[in-house]
Amino acid sequence: MTQLDALKRLSMVVADTGDLDAIRRYQPHDATTNPSLILKAFDLDGYQALIDETLAAVKAEVADPDARIEEAVDRLSVAMGSEITKLVPGRVSTEVAAKLSFDEAASIDKAHHLISLYEKQGVSRDRVLIKLASTWEGIRAAEKLEKEGINCNLTLLFSDAQARACFEAGVYLISPFVGRVTDWYKKATGTESYAPDEDPGVKFVRGVCDYASRYGYQTVVMGASFRNTDQILALAGCNRLTISPALLEELSSTEGEVTRKVTDQSDRAEHPGRIEEARFRWEHNEDAMATEKLAEGIRTFAADQKKLEGLLAKRLG
The pLDDT of residue 266 = 66
For the chain, where are the alpha helices, taking DSSP H only? 3-8, 20-26, 35-41, 48-61, 65-85, 104-120, 136-147, 160-169, 179-189, 200-214, 229-233, 245-252, 277-286, 288-316
Residues 6+ apart with CB under 8 A from 271: 215
CA distance 197 to 203: 7
Q: List the chain residues with pLDDT less than 70.
A: 266
Of residues 93, 79, 96, the one with CA closest to residue 28: 93
- Torsions phi, psi of 130, nearest 5? -85, 125
- Looking at 40, 59, 110, 131, which residue is catalytic? 131
Q: What is the largest CA-CA distance in the chain?
A: 61
Residues 6+ apart with CB under 8 A from 113: 74
- Torsions phi, psi of 224, nearest 5? -140, 170
The pLDDT of residue 98 = 95
CA distance 120 to 231: 39
- Tell me which H or E stretch contains 14: strand 12-16
The pLDDT of residue 23 = 93
Question: What are the beta bridge partners of residue 223?
Answer: 241
CA distance 273 to 265: 19
Q: Are residues 150 and 125 in contact, defined by beta-carbon separation less than 8 angstroms?
A: yes
The DSSP call for residue 126 is G
Is 306 part of the annotated catalytic residue set? Answer: no
pTM of the entire structure?
Answer: 0.94
CA distance 238 to 206: 8
Topology at the third CATH level for domain 3-316: TIM Barrel (3.20.20)
